[in-house]
Amino acid sequence: MKAIVAILSACLFLPLAVAQEPLTPEVPLEHFESYFEERPERYLVDPQGLLGADDLAEREEFLSYHAGESRIDFHVLLFDLGQEIPNEIRIEELAERFFGEGKPSLLALYFLGEPERTLIQLSPQIRETVSAAELGRVRDEAVRAARQQAASAEQLEAFCKQMAIRIFWIEREADLGPEKPDAAPVSEPGERTLAEPKDEEPGFVAWLRRCWDEWGLPAAVILGGVLSAWLVRAAVRRRARYVFPEEAVPDRLGGGRGAATGEVIDFSSSTRSPSEQHEGPGDSLGGL
């Protein structure tokens, strides 16, 4: 009888017991210091040990590599599925406190297996350069990339890679520029939603630059030669003196200086062309 009662009570009360467990547990108190106390020393903060050792090492290595190549660090605080950040913790305050000084950074609060809950924030030095809407789009793109993966570790990997790409464009927006020209990650075509850098060269300028790179020196030499020749020619012509041979011409019609007159042009009408408004010479011989 006791067994039956035990089984019944188990059947009746077990769901209740499960339901009584918090579905969205808060971050354990013992990890508060690691998460929220000071500027993180590592790029991936996982005090709860949510990632396996290999995954953790790989993600940390990737973020370190990114930090070495970018002018903006990327820090990730990793939380578990369904975990809630304490109400008193705000990501804006964290970014301000952690990264108010030193190298600019982007902080992400990432929930393993729930990329759509991710929160991101820029450090104060560069916050003004990217609008909240753009930052939201950056986050959405990275979340979308993450959700294309099934496993939570792979989702985190995709998220980090996509964010690294977006951070490159944020660098351009903030006019920080890459430290090394070849350090810029290449984004996947058609995926960029962050505003393109405004100082990107238009096609014609890029073409000119390419031509200069390829043909600059010979073209400059040729152009210089042509210009020099033109200048010399202009100088010669400017200094040139034009003379007419003095020939013996008998006086005509009694004029001692000259007797030739030209066409008479009429400029009374603006609707008739000059050729219609000149008085050509007559010819009493009828053109013979």
Partner 1 sequence: MRRCPSCVQAIHRGAAECPHCGFGLEAADGLFGTEKPEIGLVDDGAGLMRNAERRRVEKLLAGFGARFPQLAVAVHSASRVEGDLRAYAFWLLNRAHFIDLSPERSQRGIILLVLDAARHRATLAWGYLLDEDFDEPDSFEILSRAHAYWVEERYGEGIERVIEQLALVLIRRSRKARRRARRKGGAA
- Which parts of this chain interact with partner 1 (CB under 8 A)? 240-247, 249-270, 273-275, 277-278, 280-285
- Nearest distance from residue 274's CB to partner 1, in Å? 4
- For partner 1, the closer of residues 204 and 242 by Cβ is 242
In whole angstroms, give the CA distance from residue 242 to residue 183: 66
Q: Following DSSP, what letter does each residue of 66-125 receive, concatenated?
A: HHHH-SSEEEEEEE-TT-B--TT--HHHHHHHHHSSSS-EEEEEEETT-GGG-EEEE-HH
**Nearest CA to 120 among 86, 151, 164?**
164
- Nearest distance from residue 237's CB to partner 1, in Å? 8
Q: Residue 49, SS3?
A: coil
- Nearest distance from residue 287's CB to partner 1, in Å? 11
- Nearest distance from residue 275's CB to partner 1, in Å? 8
- Nearest distance from residue 283's CB to partner 1, in Å? 7
- For partner 1, the closer of residues 213 and 246 by Cβ is 246
- For partner 1, the closer of residues 57 and 264 by Cβ is 264
Residue 60, classified by CB atoms within 10 Å of its CB into exposed (0-12), middle (13-18) or buried (19+), is middle
- Nearest distance from residue 248's CB to partner 1, in Å? 9
- For partner 1, the closer of residues 7 and 264 by Cβ is 264
- For partner 1, the closer of residues 20 and 270 by Cβ is 270
CA atoms within 13 A on the CB side of 41: 3
- For partner 1, the closer of residues 209 and 278 by Cβ is 278
